[in-house]
Amino acid sequence: MNISELFNLNLYNNTMKTYLNLIGAAILITLWGCGNNGGSDKKGAMSNAKAAEKVYVAPGEYDEFYAFMSGGFSGQLSVYGLPSGRLLKVIPVFSQDAEKGYGYNEETIPMLNTSYGFVPWDDAHHPELSQTDGVPDGRWIFINGNNTPRIARIDLTTFETTEIVEIPNSGGNHSSPFITENSEYVVAGTRFSVPFPQKDVAISSYKENFKGSISYIRADEPGKMDVAFQILVPGFDYDLAHSGKGKSHGWTFFTTYNSEESYTLKEVNASQNDKDFIAAVNWKKAEEYLAQGKAKEMPADYMHNYYDEETHMATSTKKKSVKVLIPSECPGMIYYLPTPKSPHGVDVDPTGEYIVGNGKLSADLTVHSFDKMIKAIENEAFDTEIDGIPVLKFEDVVIGTVQSGGLGPLHTEFDGKGNAYTTFFISSEVVKWKLGTWEVIDRAPCYYSVGHLMIPGGDSRKPWGKYLVALNKITKDRYLPTGPEMNHSAQLYDISGEKMELLLDFPTIGEPHYAQAIAADVVMKNSKKIYPIEHNKHPHAIKKESEAKVVREGNVVRIYMTSIRSHFNPDNIEGIKVGDKVYFHLTNLEQDWDTPHGLSVMGARNAELLVMPGQTETLLWEPQRPGIYPFYCTDFCSALHQEMQGYIRVSEAGANVPIKWSLGED
């Protein structure tokens, strides 16, 4: 049975309905925009003084929470303090970052290797903190690369990206990384279905050739991230996910849209079916099938990149195959839960019982019950089956509908006090509602067009609650204009009372899709201050100034250099020739918190190095013309920072100027 038979649709009517919906949405957006742009309550905040007091963090004081916001098309992850909204750091993940030399220095270039070669950018959507017993534990944070499918691990002792694994057989890694309760796995579902394995076929052969994939990636051991198994699924679009918790631990829920399996004019053609699905994956069952040898080993091409903190170096490993489970051969592993109107977000409440699906083309939210789902499975309350995946009867899994009064629901988070908060893109608001009774308690406007929202711990078993951040897609008149593009805006609400209260607006970096926050004390107690120099196992590290040297190996020249306030050793170098490949291996001998030194060389077609205390980093320079080249420290490190500089002499290709290096010789 195919999908359109399944829903027995009148296609013409549905197309019209979709158009009308979209037109209605457009009108609403326009009206909403006008009202807010010109309205007298543009600020939307409680009394200024009261709000200011709630977000004020006195000079020298710390924020209560770390907030991690994805950078979207910046490819990075930014760290803010809450409630102040102060930017603490931008962590480079999928994009080269000249500020830190990430993806430019020799040590981190391998982090951006993929099966396509070096890819210096991605679109990063969903940060997800590691968990123990369903509670964020502050060890790591993961984030997906949507465009060239990848997942990264960031170590929260150093706030550095330490691992990236590519996801094979995926056409866009959106429903990711959404962790399981004890960080066993991070998940990945393909947003765009593609041939599995990839091959050259007509796009119009979609229904026959295109497939979806759902991947489970081992996450609990640094250095060992790998695709544990993939599940081959029908060619829908797998949009978002959340793993179960408590009673639903062992399951993950993925939203799908485009169950129509259309491949063109999707805005209309993928909006035909009245219901798409939430895919419920029993990953414990999948593990059993894996152990029984049910998986097919299929060829795959993907990279695993790992940054070793002792060698201060990343290495890339090519992976050649992947284990694939087929639903028709693995009964009980995956089910489809019909869910209205192209659902986007899927969120599991702290008890693990309620699975909230947000149909982005509807006004209402659909809440499924985990207990009902298990019962329906036991009773085989199936409507039909698609490629071996039973479709459960809607009435047998749904437990409630939230009649929100809003339009375009996207994402839901929880406060741990029995309340849920859902964003509405089209009606530009957050709606607070009660789990179990489904009644709406409060609503607050967003400025403007909110996407995700985030409550500290709000997708975990134990939310901290207290604050809610709305991550808005459109900024318009909220800040001083900065030309045609405005930074996206975040808004902080106090949710400690019955009513949500808007406290603060602040700009963000790139486009934050999702965000996560965690109590500051969980993370800060583990924060590293230095890399102990005695643990430095970088092959080109030197541990004291007396070991500084310059070594020629053919046309490769290695400069073993140290930095300490306020000089480089050596600072005068001669004997370099045009055509040489010059490697500056700079070891920062400092053993003091927050004392990096930078290194830049005139004309180097590269970024600077920014070397942390105890770390070694390498800059490659290929001098093009004879002359004298200054180099200097880029990070204002001491009163004599301006003096932290040196010279390199570059001679003609055939010259016989001998290699020579020195510090303090006249």
**Sites of contact with ligand RUQ (CB under 6 A):** 125-126, 174, 240, 344, 410-411, 451-452, 513-514
- Of residues 362 and 569, the one with the C-beta less far from ligand CUA: 569
Would you say 432 and 468 are in contact if contact means Cβ atoms under 8 Å apart? no
CA distance linking residue 403 with residue 399, whole number of Å: 13
The least distance separating ligand CUA from the CB of residue 541, rounded to whole angstroms, comes to 18
Choose the one of ligand CUA, ligand RUQ, none that binds residue 641, judging by a C-beta under 5 to 8 angstroms depending on kind.
ligand CUA
The least distance separating ligand CUA from the CB of residue 597, rounded to whole angstroms, comes to 4
Choose the one of ligand CUA, ligand RUQ, none that binds residue 476, judging by a C-beta under 5 to 8 angstroms depending on kind.
none
- Of residues 19 and 636, the one with the C-beta less far from ligand CUA: 636
Would you say 476 and 448 are in contact if contact means Cβ atoms under 8 Å apart? yes
The least distance separating ligand CUA from the CB of residue 551, rounded to whole angstroms, comes to 24
The least distance separating ligand RUQ from the CB of residue 66, rounded to whole angstroms, comes to 20
The least distance separating ligand CUA from the CB of residue 307, rounded to whole angstroms, comes to 24
The least distance separating ligand RUQ from the CB of residue 362, rounded to whole angstroms, comes to 15
Would you say 361 and 342 are in contact if contact means Cβ atoms under 8 Å apart? yes
137: its two tokens = 């534990």
- Of residues 479 and 636, the one with the C-beta less far from ligand CUA: 636
Beta-strand pair 313-325/419-424:
unpaired
Choose the one of ligand RUQ, ligand CUA, none that binds residue 188, judging by a C-beta under 5 to 8 angstroms depending on kind.
none
Would you say 413 and 493 are in contact if contact means Cβ atoms under 8 Å apart? no
Q: How many CA atoms lie within 13 A of 28 on its CB side?
A: 19
- Of residues 278 and 633, the one with the C-beta less far from ligand CUA: 633
Choose the one of ligand RUQ, ligand CUA, none that binds residue 644, judging by a C-beta under 5 to 8 angstroms depending on kind.
ligand CUA
CA distance linking residue 547 with residue 560, whole number of Å: 8
Choose the one of ligand RUQ, ligand CUA, none that binds residue 636, judging by a C-beta under 5 to 8 angstroms depending on kind.
ligand CUA
- Of residues 76 and 536, the one with the C-beta less far from ligand RUQ: 76
- Of residues 239 and 309, the one with the C-beta less far from ligand RUQ: 239
Choose the one of ligand CUA, ligand RUQ, none that binds residue 245, judging by a C-beta under 5 to 8 angstroms depending on kind.
none
Q: How far is CA 458 from CA 64, 128, 242, 414, 440, in A?
A: 16, 11, 12, 5, 18
- Of residues 261 and 571, the one with the C-beta less far from ligand CUA: 571
- Of residues 399 and 663, the one with the C-beta less far from ligand CUA: 663
Choose the one of ligand RUQ, ligand CUA, none that binds residue 637, judging by a C-beta under 5 to 8 angstroms depending on kind.
ligand CUA
The least distance separating ligand CUA from the CB of residue 125, rounded to whole angstroms, comes to 36
Local structure of residue 10 (DSSP, 8 states): -
The least distance separating ligand RUQ from the CB of residue 125, rounded to whole angstroms, comes to 4
Beta-strand pair 556-564/194-195:
unpaired
Spatial neighbors of 285 by CB under 8 A, at least 6 apart, are: 330, 332, 333
- Of residues 633 and 650, the one with the C-beta less far from ligand CUA: 633
Q: How many CA atoms lie within 13 A of 397 on its CB side?
A: 31
Phi-psi sector, 296: left (phi>0), alpha (psi -120 to 50), beta: beta
Three-class HEC string of 488-551: CEEEEEECCCCCCEEEEEEECCCCCCCEEEEEHHHHHCCCCCCCCHHHCCCCCCCCCHHHCEEE
Choose the one of ligand CUA, ligand RUQ, none that binds residue 633, judging by a C-beta under 5 to 8 angstroms depending on kind.
ligand CUA
Would you say 277 and 382 are in contact if contact means Cβ atoms under 8 Å apart? no
How many other CB atoms are found less than 10 A from the CB of residue 458?
A: 27
Where do contacts with ligand CUA occur on this chain (CB under 6 A)? 563, 566, 597, 633, 635-637, 641, 644
Choose the one of ligand CUA, ligand RUQ, none that binds residue 451, judging by a C-beta under 5 to 8 angstroms depending on kind.
ligand RUQ
CA distance linking residue 72 with residue 514, whole number of Å: 9
The least distance separating ligand CUA from the CB of residue 542, rounded to whole angstroms, comes to 17
Taking CB atoms within 8 Å and a gap of at least 24, the contacts of 440-445 are: 440/402, 440/403, 440/404, 440/405, 441/498, 442/498, 442/499, 442/500, 443/405, 443/406, 444/44, 444/493, 444/499, 444/500, 444/501, 444/502, 445/36, 445/44
The least distance separating ligand RUQ from the CB of residue 412, rounded to whole angstroms, comes to 11
Rounded to 5°, angle at Cα 298 from 317 and 293: 105
Residue nearest ligand RUQ, Cβ-based = 451
- Of residues 468 and 533, the one with the C-beta less far from ligand CUA: 533
Choose the one of ligand RUQ, ligand CUA, none that binds residue 151, judging by a C-beta under 5 to 8 angstroms depending on kind.
none
